[in-house]
């Protein structure tokens, strides 16, 4: 779902994003990356279910 809906079917783009997110130090840093590179550039709609689920997955990666 994420690859098709958020990364326009590009597994390479998805894997690159996940690799960068894995190297973030915390959720805020990860969200800065997502906002800069995907909300703005790919015009992700924060109200879309797919976007919300992706952010939830990232948030689970960085428990407080």
- At 32-54, the pLDDT tens digits run 999 998 887 778 888 999 999 99
For 59, other C-beta atoms within 10 Å of its C-beta total 13
Domain interval for residue 51: 2-61
Q: How many folded domains does the chain comprise?
A: 1
d(CA 64, CA 60): 9
Q: What value does the mean pLDDT of the chain take?
A: 92
């Amino acid at each position: 779902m994420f690859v098709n809906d958020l990364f326009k079917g590009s597994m390479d783009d998805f894997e690159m994003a996940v690799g960068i997110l894995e190297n973030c130090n915390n959720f805020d840093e990860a969200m800065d990356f997502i906002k800069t590179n995907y909300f703005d550039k790919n015009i992700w709609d924060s109200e879309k279910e797919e976007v919300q689920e992706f952010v939830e997955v990232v948030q689970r990666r960085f428990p407080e």
